[in-house]
Amino acid sequence: MTGQNFLKGAFILSLAGVTVKLMGALYRIPLARLIGGEGMGLYQMAYPVYTMILALSTAGIPVAISILVAEKNAREDYQGGKRVFWVSLMLLTVIGAMFSVLLYFNSYWLAGNVLYDERAFYAIIAISPAIFITAITSAFRGYFQGNQTMLPTALSQVFEQLIRVATVLTLAYLLLPYGIEFAAAGATFGAVTGSIGAALVLILFYIIYRGKYGVKPSYRSLGKEPIISIMLRIGFIAVPLSLGGLVMPVMQLIDATIVPLRLQVAGYSIARATELFGQFSGMANTLINLPTIITISLAVSLVPAVSEALANKNIRQARARIGVAIWITCLLCLPAAVGLWLLATPIAILLYDIAEVGSSIAVLAPAALLLGLYQTSSGALQGTGKTYLPVKNLLIGIMIKAIFNYILVAMPGFGIKGAGYATAMGFTVAVILNYRDLQKNIGFTVAWYQTLVVPLIGVIIMSFAVLWSYGLIFNLAGNSLAVLTSILIGGIVYGLVILFFGGVKASELEIIPGFGLKLTRILLRLKIVRR
């Protein structure tokens, strides 16, 4: 996998990720207006349970598939790659069905004894079949990613979100007259219909691409490695990854259980605590996750890229790919974090018409950068084969987050802001530990000037431009136009500063898929970038 192909895969996934996240952010606006903060709280309570069980059952296997298929393809053992896929598909089908059934029959107990709100029972019931279907889709995605083909995954994600959004809004509207608990349940059922759509797209792509990767063989001709051996190798890679995938939903579950209860200790009613939690997790947190679209894509592409480089004993190439991924993360996520912090309340008013959400956005803003760095560095560590290290590091971060959640949220001076500060503390620790492990294992070090110093200069200058333009336009045309224009001006100013200080070189622009060469020639003529 060349550096260009690595970035091409990340670029395709990023485009799909931008589309999916934008749809995800946009549908929450009418949904929040439709079912309110309390309804969003019920909606958000079901999702951590679902994502935690999904992570426990499937999270590590798609990455394991991509690693094993990439390794076998590097050795030109294409038959072995197909064997990995079919064994994984059978395994995930059984596991997914088992966990869907378990969630369905334990939904009432979870609602009453874990979430402390029996109304969440309906949302958990509605979302339970999605585990089975998502398990199947994850096998296909892992196989395509291992073959360095990201288009099927990208299109399936877009199609999944389209169907999901349509289902969420339609069922929430139709079921609202029966109560907000039923409206929230209808919204969560979008995960089921969306995953069905994704599965159909992936199966169609597999049929189309079957000629490229070879027709499905019979089990007698499926290569030489025994099924038991493949399952053991998948388990060896996937178990730590599954635990790592479990940590993030656990973090969300900690918020869903601790935050509303500790808000009540701080003096809020049950309804008000649920409303504040809905604003924090369902509104503010959604915006904070938007900048990490790129880093998720980078992490997915980075795993087989680093794995392939190390399989060929090319440590220098592995370090270079990790360095590019972390550089892109800082380049994009740092200005996003600062922008969200500067315009927190105006953005909250623009999107949700609730100024109060701005305080949650502001305290969560640093997490936009920290989460991105954690995802990229975790992908790098997974590619080196040290799949357990990101799990250990995030687990330490989660413990810190839980402690500060418990302490700060119950203090009237902090309240819901305490959850944001706790999140930032937890991810800061996890990122530092990940970086230390990359240094220790493959001798990786960050190119500090290009990766951090130049973006910092850029965001300082950008901040003045954003505040000046927002204040000027707000007085002339109001909040909405002021927010949109100041974001545009800030982005232009930041980009020019980065180019001026050498944060991006011509050789790095040239490898952007599709238009990189043309863009580089134009900027070289204008003397904006250097060789």
In sequence order, what are the residues at sequence separation of 6 or more whose Cβ sits closer than 8 angstroms to the Cβ of residue 395?
247
Contacts of 392 (CB under 8 A, 6+ apart): 433
Is 466 a member of any domain?
A: no
| Token digits of residue 235 | 């388990």
Which pLDDT score is estimated for 123?
85
Is 76 a domain residue? yes
Highest mean pLDDT among 43-47, 427-431, 474-478: 427-431
Q: What is the percentage of the chain residues whose pLDDT exceeds 70?
A: 84
Tell me the C-alpha distance between 252 and 487, whole Å. 29
Total number of residues shown for the chain: 531
Average pLDDT over residues 231-255: 70
Q: Is 499 inside a domain boundary?
A: no
Per-residue pLDDT, 76: 72
Q: Judge whether 511 lies within some domain.
A: no
pLDDT at 509: 53
pLDDT for res 247: 63
Q: Sort residue 512 into left (φ over 0), alpha (ψ -120 to 50) or beta.
A: beta
Q: How confident is the model at residue 520 (pLDDT cuts 50, 70, 90)?
A: low
Task: State which residues form the domain around 383.
Answer: 3-446
Separation between Cα atoms, residue 154 and residue 152, nearest integer Å: 5
Q: What is the mean pLDDT of residues 272-292?
A: 81
Q: Tell me: pLDDT of 184 over 50.
A: yes
Tokens describing residue 407: 């302490």
Is 383 or 201 the better-scoring residue by pLDDT?
Answer: 201
- Please determine, for residue 120, whether its predicted confidence score (pLDDT) is greater than 70: yes
Please report which confidence band the pLDDT of residue 220 belongs to, taking 50, 70 and 90 as the band edges. very low
pLDDT (0 to 100) of residue 504: 65
Decide if 324 is inside a domain: yes
More confident position, 211 or 432: 432
Do residues 129 and 114 make contact, with C-beta atoms less than 8 angstroms apart? no
Q: Do the domain assignments include residue 494? A: no
- What pLDDT band is residue 217 in, cutting at 50, 70 and 90? very low
Residue 514 lies in a domain: no
- Pair 372, 431: CB distance under 8 Å: no
DSSP 8-state assignment for residue 216: P
Please say if the pLDDT value at position 124 is more than 80: yes
Number of domains in the chain: 1
Q: Mean of the per-residue pLDDT values for the chain?
A: 80
* Residue 528, domain member (yes or no): no
Of 299 and 446, more confident? 446
Judged against a pLDDT cut of 60, whether residue 516 lies above it is answered with no
